[in-house]
């Protein structure tokens, strides 16, 4: 590892959800539901990151990388707990049913991407290859979360519209830590011998799946909103995708085309996650995040 970045800092956070409305961007129910799905999409994946990285720890021969991986795991488990807390104390308090979304993600990460994929027990070299493959999947997802983290910490339109400060802080604290730890999964993948060809094909599979899960989950949240009842929101309906484009054009969401363009750098053989964000910008937010300051106090 040859990075010149400050060591990662695992931070505790505390959020009070008592005043956060379901339509947390006033006047923007589509964008509010769309971003709220992040609370459901992330925890299963982030706990799975921790389990996979925990298995990789004994294989790491670089002390600096090992301590970064440990700090990464502590950050990711805090992210997962914070979003799961938002689902419990915020979405459920508004009567939102979330289990059908989280069940799908649990099956994906526990069964399909677990230690015994589809029930097969792996030993020796295949077990190591399966571990490196999964670390590569995490590196591809971490590129996506870094892109989204940049979007969220730089977004100003939500603030100008009077968006809920607690939800904004959850998204920005998490987004800033994604930028802060953007190199760890990629460094671990390379350290364990992960190469370019497998990075290329696994990213080609992972990125459409994550976008599909996000839109599918957001559609499920919208189905529960009477204002969208006549639209029958679904990942398979063009209305859903058309609305995503429309809301992106109006500045309420990141554009799907912009996201795809930003994902392309991961396919570059000379990809370097250090170039994908600014640590100074991330730390500037983390040092003033109300949730991080509240927990520290
Ligand atoms: Fe995270
Ligand atoms: Fe992350």
The CA 2 to ligand 1 mean position distance, Å, reads 23
Q: Which one of the ligands is nearest to 45 CA? A: 1
pLDDT of 71 above 80: yes
Q: Which ranges of the chain does DSSP label H, i.e. alpha helix?
A: 29-36, 38-56, 63-86, 99-107, 124-154, 157-160, 165-180, 184-191, 196-223, 238-249, 256-263, 279-286, 290-296
Q: What is the mean predicted confidence (pLDDT) over 88-93?
A: 95
The CA 239 to ligand 2 mean position distance, Å, reads 31
CA dist 49 and 45 (Å) reads: 6
CA dist 245 and 228 (Å) reads: 17
The CA 260 to ligand 2 mean position distance, Å, reads 19
Q: What is the pLDDT of residue 168?
A: 97
The CA 246 to ligand 1 mean position distance, Å, reads 27
Domain residue ranges in the chain: 29-296
The CA 11 to ligand 1 mean position distance, Å, reads 12
Q: Which ranges of 181-275 does DSSP label H, i.e. alpha helix?
A: 184-191, 196-223, 238-249, 256-263
105-123 tens-digit pLDDT: 888 888 889 988 888 888 8
The CA 70 to ligand 2 mean position distance, Å, reads 12
The CA 25 to ligand 2 mean position distance, Å, reads 25
Q: What is the pLDDT of residue 105?
A: 87
Q: What is the mean predicted confidence (pLDDT) over 203-217?
A: 92
Torsion of CA 29, 32, 35, 38, to 10 degrees: -100
The CA 198 to ligand 2 mean position distance, Å, reads 20
169-206 tens-digit pLDDT: 999 999 999 999 999 999 999 999 998 888 888 889 99
CB 7 within 8 A of CB 140: no
**CA torsion through residues 111, 117, 121, 124, sign:** negative
Q: What is the pLDDT of residue 259?
A: 94
Q: What is the pLDDT of residue 261?
A: 94
The CA 184 to ligand 2 mean position distance, Å, reads 9
Q: What is the mean predicted confidence (pLDDT) over 213-232?
A: 94
CA dist 148 and 175 (Å) reads: 7
Q: What is the pLDDT of residue 198?
A: 86
CA dist 253 and 235 (Å) reads: 17
Long-range contacts, stretch 129-135, CB < 8 angstroms, 24+ apart: 131/52, 131/55, 131/56, 131/59, 131/192, 132/189, 132/192, 132/193, 132/194, 133/198, 133/202, 134/52, 135/52, 135/53, 135/56, 135/185, 135/188, 135/189, 135/192, 135/194
pTM: 0.94
Q: Which two tokens stand for residue 153?
A: 């910490």
The CA 94 to ligand 1 mean position distance, Å, reads 24
* Span between the terminal Cα atoms of the chain, in Å: 35
Average pLDDT, the chain: 94
Q: Which one of the ligands is nearest to 182 CA? A: 2
Q: What is the pLDDT of residue 104?
A: 87
pLDDT of 2 above 60: no
Q: What is the mean predicted confidence (pLDDT) over 46-52?
A: 96
Q: Which two tokens stand for residue 214?
A: 């996000």
The CA 144 to ligand 2 mean position distance, Å, reads 9
pLDDT of 101 above 90: no
The CA 230 to ligand 1 mean position distance, Å, reads 35
Long-range contacts, stretch 121-130, CB < 8 angstroms, 24+ apart: 128/59
Four-way CATH pick for 29-296: 2.60.120, 1.20.1260, 1.20.1530, 1.10.8: 1.20.1260
The CA 180 to ligand 2 mean position distance, Å, reads 9
CB 29 within 8 A of CB 221: no
pLDDT of 3 above 80: no
18-42 tens-digit pLDDT: 999 999 999 999 999 999 999 999 9
119-159 tens-digit pLDDT: 888 888 889 999 999 999 999 999 999 999 999 999 999 99
pLDDT-based confidence at 251, cuts 50/70/90? very high
Beta-carbon contacts of residue 48 (< 8 Å; ≥ 6 apart): 109, 110, 113
Rg (alpha carbons) of the chain, rounded to whole number: 19
The CA 227 to ligand 1 mean position distance, Å, reads 31
% of the chain at pLDDT higher than 90: 82
CA dist 127 and 134 (Å) reads: 11
CA dist 94 and 247 (Å) reads: 24
- Of residues 51, 40, 161, 148, the one with CA closest to residue 103: 40
Q: What is the pLDDT of residue 120?
A: 84
How long is the chain? 297
CB 54 within 8 A of CB 2: no
The CA 89 to ligand 1 mean position distance, Å, reads 19
The CA 292 to ligand 1 mean position distance, Å, reads 15
The CA 99 to ligand 2 mean position distance, Å, reads 23
The CA 49 to ligand 2 mean position distance, Å, reads 9
The CA 178 to ligand 1 mean position distance, Å, reads 6
């Amino acid at each position: 590892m040859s990075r010149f970045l400050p060591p990662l800092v695992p931070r505790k956070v505390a959020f009070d959800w008592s005043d956060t409305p379901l339509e947390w961007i006033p006047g923007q129910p589509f964008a509010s539901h769309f971003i709220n799905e992040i609370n459901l999409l992330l925890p299963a994946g982030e706990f799975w990151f921790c389990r996979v990285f925990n298995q990789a720890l004994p294989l790491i021969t670089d002390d600096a990388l090992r301590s970064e991986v440990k700090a990464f795991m502590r950050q990711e488990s805090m992210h997962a707990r914070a979003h799961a807390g938002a689902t419990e104390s915020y979405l459920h308090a508004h009567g939102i049913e979330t289990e059908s979304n989280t069940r799908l993600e649990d099956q994906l990460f526990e069964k399909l991407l677990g230690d015994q994929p589809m029930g097969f027990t792996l030993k020796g070299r295949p077990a190591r290859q399966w571990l490196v493959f999964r670390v590569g999947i995490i590196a591809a997802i971490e590129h996506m979360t870094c892109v989204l983290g940049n979007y969220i910490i730089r977004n100003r339109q939500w603030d100008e519209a009077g968006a809920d400060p607690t939800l904004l802080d959850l998204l920005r604290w998490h987004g800033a830590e994604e930028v802060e730890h953007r190199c760890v999964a990629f460094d671990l993948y390379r350290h364990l011998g992960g190469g370019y060809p497998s990075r290329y094909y696994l990213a080609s599979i992972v990125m459409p799946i994550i976008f599909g899960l996000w839109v599918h989950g957001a559609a499920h949240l919208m189905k529960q909103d009477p204002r969208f009842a006549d639209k029958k929101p679904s990942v398979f309906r063009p209305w859903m995708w058309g609305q995503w484009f429309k809301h992106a054009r109006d500045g309420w969401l990141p554009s799907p085309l912009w996201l795809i363009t930003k994902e392309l750098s991961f396919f570059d053989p000379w990809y370097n996650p250090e170039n994908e964000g600014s640590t100074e910008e991330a730390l500037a937010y983390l040092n003033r995040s109300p949730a991080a300051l509240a927990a520290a106090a």
